[in-house]
Amino acid sequence: MATSPLPDPDNAPGGEGMSDEELAQLLEGHEQRAVGYFDSEIAKEQAKAIEYYYGNVNDVPVLDGCSSAVDHTVAITVDNGLASVLKPFVSAEEVVAFDPVGEEDVEMAEQATEYVNHVIHKDNSGFLILHNWFKDALLSKIGIVKVWWEDKTRTEVVPQVVDAMGLLAAREAEGYLDEEDNGDGTFTVRLEQVIPDGREKICGVPPEEFLISPHARSIEFGECPYAAHKPSNFTRSDLVGLGFDRDIVDALPSMASDEMGEARRRARYADQEWYSSTREAIGSDKSAETIAVLDEFVLCDYVGDGIAEMRRVLRVGATILFNEKADDNAFAILCPVPMPHKVIGRSLA
C-alpha cells in the first residue's frame, strides 16, 4: 500500500484528486512504457555502443583459425569528437555568458555570468560534468544532467554574553536553551540558531538511469509528460538521511538483481564484474542496501480540477515517499544528431 508521510496541501478536502494508489499505478505505467526502460530497443542499442567502445565486438562472426574480432573504431571516433566539442568550453574563461538586452541590463548580465560560472566550476566539478555529459551523448544517443537545490541548512548552538536586560530578551527568543551567571553582572546565554545554507547541485545521469515518455518531443515543460531518474546507488541510509521515517524505509524492497544487471550496466562495468552482485551481498549492514528509488516528474491531473500539472514524486514500487507540485523537471539533455519531433535521435557511435 502506498504511504505518504508528507500531506499534500494542493489536494483540497472534498476534491476528486488521485489517491496514492492511483498515482503509483499511473507512474508505474509511465515507467514501463518509457524510452530507456531496461528492455527497450534503445537500451539494447546503447548497451551495444558501450560494448563497441570497449572493443567487445561479440556479434561479429569469427573466421576459422582466427582470433575474435577487436575493433576500437568507436572509441577513437567518439574520443576525437569529444575533444573537439569539449575544447571551447574548457579553454574559455567563461563557460556561460549572459548578454544584456539594453544598457540597464549590463550590471545584471555581468552578475548572472559571474554567478553561473561560479556554480559550475566552484560549487560543482564543471569539467567532469561537461566531459561526461558530452561523452554520454556521443556514445549513447543522449547525455543527461540533473540540477537541483541542495539544502545544507544547519543548526548551531551560539553562546552570547548579555546583561540583565539582554537576558530577559534572550529568554523570550526562539531557540533559547539555557543560561549561566558569570558573577559580574553578565550572563552567558546559549541560543540555538538556524543557519540557512545551500547550493545548486549539478550531476551527470547515466543513460541507463534516465527514463522519458515516448510521447515527449522535448524535455521542455508541457512537451514532456514523464521524465525520471532511477539511480543505481541510492541506499536505505540515503533515504533516512533525507528525513524519511526509518520504519517505512526498512520495509521497502531492495533493488532486484535483474535491475542491477541490465545490459547497459553490464557493458559499462563488465571489467569490474560490479553488476553481478547487489549491495545485499556485501554484508549484514541493511543501511547499505540499494533501493530502486525513482525521482519522477509527471504531468497529471492530481488534484482533480481537469488540468494537468507537473508533480515531483519519489517512489519505490507502489510506495509514494514524497509528492509535491513542481515548476519543471530537473533535467537538461543533449543529443548529437537530433531527429525531428523526438528526444533521442542518433549518436556518433
Q: What is the pLDDT of residues 89-98, one digit of tens each?
A: 888 888 899 9
Rounded-to-integer distance, Cα 202 and Cα 212, Å: 19
Q: Give the Cα separation of 347 and 349 in Å (integer).
A: 5
Helix (H) or strand (E) holding 266: helix 263-268
Q: How far is CA 209 from CA 119, 222, 258, in A?
A: 24, 22, 14
Task: Kindly provide the residue ranges of all beta strands, DSSP E only, lying in the chain, ordered along the sequence.
Answer: 143-151, 154-162, 176-181, 187-195, 198-205, 210-212, 226-229, 294-300, 309-316, 319-325, 331-334
The answer for residues whose C-beta is within 8 angstroms of residue 103's C-beta and 6 or more apart is: none
pTM over 0.75? The answer is yes
pLDDT, tens only, 127-181:
999 999 999 999 999 999 999 998 888 889 989 899 989 899 989 888 899 999 9
Q: What is the pLDDT of residues 260-300, one digit of tens each?
A: 667 888 888 888 765 544 444 456 788 888 899 999 999 99
Residue 252: HSE in the Cβ half-sphere, 13 Å Cα cutoff? 33
Distance CA 196, CA 181 (A): 30
- CA–CA distance, 274 with 272 (Å, rounded to integer): 5
Bridge partners, residue 230, by sequence: none
